Chain A
Amino acid sequence: MEFGPHLMLASLEGAVIASILVLTAMGLSIVFGVMRVVNVAHGEFFMLGAVLAWYVSTALGGHPAIGFAVALIVAPLAVGLVAAVSDQLILKRINYDPDRTIVGTIGMLFIIQQTTLMTFGPEARPVEAPFNQRLALPWFEFSEGGLQMIWPWGLSITSYKLFVIFAALTVLVALWLFLTRTKIGLIMRATQQDSETAKAFGVPVGTVYSCVFGLGAALAALGAVLVVPIQQAHYLMGADPLLMAFTVVIIGGLGSLPGTVIAAFLIGMSDGIISVFFSPTLAQIIATFLVAMILVFRPQGLMGKAET
């Protein structure tokens, strides 16, 4: 493929990766920002969302759009509930101590994975996309006859992938409105900025934490429902999103939601675009190393405030 169309294809793919990443990372960012704990089980909430999407769409049958639409609502709600309950049962009782939370959430990771393996099984299971047309894309080239439109071999995207990008943007806007325009959002942000003061003003911090933990997990599950028609549900699929989301949150700057969005976009896009120039594994080596170097030279993250 020519360089131009190749770059365009890679950018489109990068945008799809970034869209999924931004939802997963937003969930983690909210949890991390408000509760200051590393939730190692976050990737498992993502996996649960994908697995539930498979169950819902298989149980309903009929046109794939029906199952998908129902899964879009049911999976995040169910996963959010599971997370909120586990927060009440476990995290609350260990006072959100950073070290103990790591051990506790690793324990949760084991439990969720093994339970999924025993019920859902070890196979990768696909969920049919509600719609999935291949859209060939044009490219413009200057030649003797002026600007020409051509249809390069292989340059295409599917309607579903475009939908994923659009859906991620919609969710982001909705989340933004929720956090800035609603009372619950305000309480969450207040708790994030200073939980002690919030408590003094009568904010039920414990309940807020459970809601936040549930919301974070629900966002991860939502990302998973969106991704599962492209990838497949598999009981080990949570590891990669966890690491990526974790990285995005830190690169963005702890507690900065705009930073998370920018970082997700940057990492997703660079993942796509660097692959144009290097062989795949080398591209990943370079991308990973660059991410580390961003932090080395800007330890507080892109949008974080320098700690003094």
Chain B
Amino acid sequence: MTVARKINALHFGILLFLLICFFTLPAYHVGALSRIMVLAIYAIGLNILFGYTGLLSLGHAMFFAAGMYGLGLSIKFLGVSVVLAFGIGILSAAVLSALVGLLALRTAGVSFMIVTLMFAQTVYLVVLYFGEFTRGDEGFVLQQAERMLAGFDVTTEAGRYFVAFGAFSICLIGFSALVQSSFGKRLVAIRENEERARMLGYDVWRYKLLAVIISGTVSGAAGALYALLFGYVGATFASVQYSILPLLWVLLGGAGTTIGPLIGVAFMFYLIDASSAYTSAYMLIAGLALVVLTMFAPRGIAGILRTKVSPWLP
């Protein structure tokens, strides 16, 4: 098999596996997987920027929140259809990421981290400041009746799973195509050696801006999806914690790999889920696991696979 075929087979296999999961796993895990897939889209969003372009953002919660509030507020106050609201959510994230990109890309490295962190903090405070509309930290509920996606009820287990699955499939396949395209290869070239990429005549700044916008928009789509599928919009999702989490997922799963985000989210979810069944001190276990993992799996879980099993992993 050629590398491209292997990659496609791998992604197809993962999607098939997720599909089989729905029909075989107990109801609890079906629900958990819906959540994991949505959050994996968020992690994919961050991975485009961090894993492939080498720009570490500590403020991705603002894009997630932009999608979430774009969808939530337009349903709540404009009464638009879910499809349109979803579009508004994605558009909000796209516009915000373009603005942030234009400003923040004047910086690099640690300064980029801080600038994105501060912008995200500003967005978080703005959500609180307009509490009259957003209900601040408390947030608001999208009623079941308001969550019909073009006649399709997303509040049932099956509805939720298949919407999450569909969106995740689009993202995984699109993401895989992106990183294998010449565009994706140029992003990696920028990550590896920005100076050299510039010498080769690439408009580095333009590529980085596009990466920020794509990354922010995908994260925003995850936010909108989260609000739609789980019926809740709140400021918690704009807080620093939700900027750190996707970074953790990506690093755990394997930065700069296509399957890393999903692995990272699932690993973290089930690590906490499983350990909390045995002890109330599951954070301790999670902490120890992170320390051990970073010591023995330097490039994340997919990184081990790449070095030990299949060097062709995208």
> Using a CB–CB distance below 8 Å, which chain A residues touch chain B?
38, 40, 90, 93-94, 97, 99-104, 106-115, 117-118, 239, 243, 246-247, 250-251, 254, 281-282, 284-285, 288-289, 291-293, 295-297, 299-301, 307
Contacts and interface: CB of A to CB of B under 8 A. Distances in A.
Contact of A299 (B111, B129, B298): B111
Given A97-B298, A239-B240, A250-B110, 12 more contacts: A90-B295, A94-B298, A99-B255, A103-B248, A103-B294, A104-B290, A106-B248, A109-B287, A281-B125, A288-B125, A292-B114, A296-B103
Contact of B110 (A106, A111, A254): A254
B251 A99 contact: yes
23 contacts: A97-B298, A100-B251, A103-B290, A104-B294, A104-B295, A107-B286, A107-B287, A107-B290, A111-B284, A114-B284, A114-B287, A246-B114, A246-B117, A247-B117, A250-B113, A251-B114, A285-B125, A285-B126, A292-B114, A299-B107, A299-B108, A301-B111, A307-B108
A16 to B, nearest CB: 22
B308 interface: no
A94 B294 contact: yes
B247 interface: yes
A1 B125 CA distance: 27
B111 A250 contact: yes
A90 B296 CA distance: 11
Contacts of A299: 106-108, 111
Interface residues of B, number: 39
Interface string B281-296: 1011011111101110
Interface of A is mostly: helix
A99 B252 CA distance: 10
B129 A282 contact: yes
B115 A296 contact: yes
B122 interface: yes
B178 interface: no
Interface in B250-288: 251-252, 255, 281, 283-284, 286-288
B13 to A, nearest CB: 27
Contacts of A94: 294-295, 298
Given A107-B291, A247-B118, A292-B122, A113 B104 contact: no
B128 A281 contact: yes
A10 B107 CA distance: 32
Contact of B104 (A103, A112, A250, A296): A296
Contacts of B298: 94, 97, 100
A106 B290 CA distance: 8
Interface string B88-132: 000000000000000110111011011101110110011011000
A295 B113 CA distance: 10
B244 interface: yes
B254 to A, nearest CB: 11
B275 to A, nearest CB: 11
A107 B268 CA distance: 12
